[in-house]
Amino acid sequence: MTFASLGLIDPLLRALETLGYDTPSPVQAQAVPAVLAGRDLMAAAQTGTGKTAGFALPLLQRLVQEGPVVAANSVRALVLAPTRELAEQVHESIRVYGQNLPLRTYAVYGGVSINPQMMALRKGIDVLVATPGRLLDLYRQNAVKFSQLQILVLDEADRMLDLGFSEELASIYAALPKKRQTLLFSATFSESIRLLAGQMLDNPLSIEVSPRNVAASTVKQWVVPVDKKRKTELFIHLMKKQRWTQVLAFAKTRNGVDELVERLQGLGVNADGIHGDKPQATRQRALDRFKASEIRILVATDVAARGLDIDDLPLVVNFDLPIVAEDYVHRIGRTGRAGQTGEAISLVCADEVQLLAAIETLTRQTLARHEEQDFEPDHKVPATDASGQVIKKPKKPKKPKVSSAKGKLGKWMDSTDSDLPAPTVKPVRKVPSFNTGPKKKKP
Ligand code: AMP
């Protein structure tokens, strides 16, 4: 199959040729003809599947082939994205795909001054990529009008709801023309997403693709049980012992990101962090430097890192487990891409056992555990299995040990704590696509 056979016009085909895209990905093969035909879409696809081109290519084509010249302050296609980084990234892709077309594209998001955005919108924008909060601000200040809107895209709809944007989405939805084409992309399909889809979509075509990056790759995954207060120390210990080259690490909170980065920088390690409190320019610079290998360790929150296209990382470290189990799959999907092997290490404390159980249920595997010598936790992480069960109750906290260099040091354990020969690689089962099983409640 070729892009030409999907019915795309020459200026788009030339852009794809420049990018070296030869073959449409599965989501593109399904989405492009449907969107060109004017259908609404409900797609279970996430970053790494080529979903951006899947909606952007036919959207651009429809805008050049149909509809009016854009009027002042108007928008003809609106792409809503959950985070600033994703908005930037999606906008950049749309700009590149549409490089040979006479269309204006732009991105608006919070955390930066609103005035330049108001100025840019004055001329009218064919494709506007926006985070919901800033878009609503602009709308309420009459800087943007939706009367010419032909196409609405909700990118990472599940994440927009997770981030609490449902009210903003409802307000935006109320301001849009009823006659329009709507495309909804989401990694998961919970009840609330289905409700949103029911309100916003008209007889949509459903598309489902499994994430290329996780399902097709071999990622060595394991858990290192550790007491909460010793996580930073363990991180530094493993970094030195295993000679980590480039690492994307995830922490739960903004403070957690800052504290780890400070400790690492204090040791002279080239580290930086991205999270929602940092100005957009700083976040983008950190990301660019990480991609250029100028930063060795990038610490991020899920919100800041979600959807970012970072390829071919050797190692992802979960300094904290994610609150939402699906984020685990997003995180480890940054490594082991394109048939390469990657590693994902999770530092897990007793408080996180329910989160661990949720991840094991979602990914249908029991993650191997490896206690690190001298870091054996006083607060044991109860055993778990892939059915989501926590097998043992957490033991009462013991007093800190004076010496802990005893017992199962450095041994691999399975979920029942039996000693196993130390494997170097724990084979990982295929991770299922996300929208089939029942959605786990947030722990
Ligand atoms: P996305 O899932 O849209 O974030 O895309 C993931 C990555 O795949 C991006 O780096 C795209 O540039 C790339 N990509 C998308 N479609 C194709 C294709 N048909 N052939 C090769 N690379 C692609």
Domain boundaries, the chain: 4-208, 219-391
In the reported structure, the alpha carbon of residue 130 is separated from the centroid of ligand 1 by a whole-number distance in angstroms of 21
In the reported structure, the alpha carbon of residue 275 is separated from the centroid of ligand 1 by a whole-number distance in angstroms of 25
Closest by CA position to 139, among listed 111, 131, 188: 131
Which atom of ligand 1 lies nearest, measured to the CA of 89? 4
Burial of 80 (0-12, 13-18, 19+ CB in 10 A): buried
pLDDT on residue 309 = 64
Report CA-CA distances (Å) from 108 to 116, 179, 360, 397: 10, 24, 37, 49
> Rounded distance, CA 166 to CA 351, Å?
30
- Extract the residue ranges of the chain whose pLDDT is less than 70: 210-217, 304-309, 311, 336-340, 386-389, 391-443
> Rounded distance, CA 434 to CA 326, Å?
8
Ligand 1 test: best mutation among 13, 19, 185, most atoms within 8 Å of CB? 19
Query: Do the beta carbons of residue 116 and residue 184 sit within 8 Å?
Result: no
Ligand 1 test: best mutation among 16, 17, 21, most atoms within 8 Å of CB? 21
Which atom of ligand 1 lies nearest, measured to the CA of 24? 19
pLDDT on residue 443 = 34
User: For ligand 1, is residue 225 a contact (CB within 6 Å)?
Assistant: no
Q: What residue's CA is closest to ligand 1, atom 14?
A: 50
In the reported structure, the alpha carbon of residue 220 is separated from the centroid of ligand 1 by a whole-number distance in angstroms of 24
The sign of the torsion formed by the CA atoms of 254, 318, 352, 350 equals negative
pLDDT on residue 413 = 26
In the reported structure, the alpha carbon of residue 53 is separated from the centroid of ligand 1 by a whole-number distance in angstroms of 7
- Supply the pTM of this predicted model: 0.61
User: For ligand 1, is residue 24 a contact (CB within 6 Å)?
Assistant: yes
Which atom of ligand 1 lies nearest, measured to the CA of 52? 3
User: For ligand 1, is residue 21 a contact (CB within 6 Å)?
Assistant: yes
User: For ligand 1, is residue 333 a contact (CB within 6 Å)?
Assistant: no
Maximum separation of any 2 CA atoms in the chain, in Å: 75
Task: Report whether CATH 3.40.50.720 matches the domain 4-208.
Answer: no
Q: What residue's CA is closest to ligand 1, atom 1?
A: 50
pLDDT on residue 423 = 29
Q: What residue's CA is closest to ligand 1, atom 13?
A: 50
In the reported structure, the alpha carbon of residue 189 is separated from the centroid of ligand 1 by a whole-number distance in angstroms of 22
pLDDT digit string, tens, across residues 91-127: 999 999 999 999 999 999 998 999 999 999 999 999 9
Q: Phi and psi of 181, rounded to 5°?
A: -100, 135
User: For ligand 1, is residue 48 a contact (CB within 6 Å)?
Assistant: yes
pLDDT digit string, tens, across residues 375-399: 999 999 998 876 666 765 544 555 5
User: For ligand 1, is residue 51 a contact (CB within 6 Å)?
Assistant: yes
| 4-208 and 219-391: identical CATH topology | yes
**Side by side, which strands form the sheet with 105-108?**
105-108, 125-130, 75-80, 151-154, 181-186, 41-44, 205-208
> Rounded distance, CA 60 to CA 418, Å?
57
In the reported structure, the alpha carbon of residue 49 is separated from the centroid of ligand 1 by a whole-number distance in angstroms of 7
In the reported structure, the alpha carbon of residue 372 is separated from the centroid of ligand 1 by a whole-number distance in angstroms of 38
Which is it for strands 151-154 and 271-274: parallel, antiparallel or unpaired? unpaired
> Rounded distance, CA 178 to CA 90, Å?
25
User: For ligand 1, is residue 89 a contact (CB within 6 Å)?
Assistant: no
> Rounded distance, CA 357 to CA 313, Å?
26
User: For ligand 1, is residue 211 a contact (CB within 6 Å)?
Assistant: no
User: For ligand 1, is residue 47 a contact (CB within 6 Å)?
Assistant: yes
At the top level of CATH, the class of 219-391 is alpha beta
In the reported structure, the alpha carbon of residue 359 is separated from the centroid of ligand 1 by a whole-number distance in angstroms of 27
> Rounded distance, CA 429 to CA 431, Å?
6
pLDDT on residue 409 = 21
In the reported structure, the alpha carbon of residue 158 is separated from the centroid of ligand 1 by a whole-number distance in angstroms of 21
Ligand 1 test: best mutation among 95, 309, 310, 334, most atoms within 8 Å of CB? 309
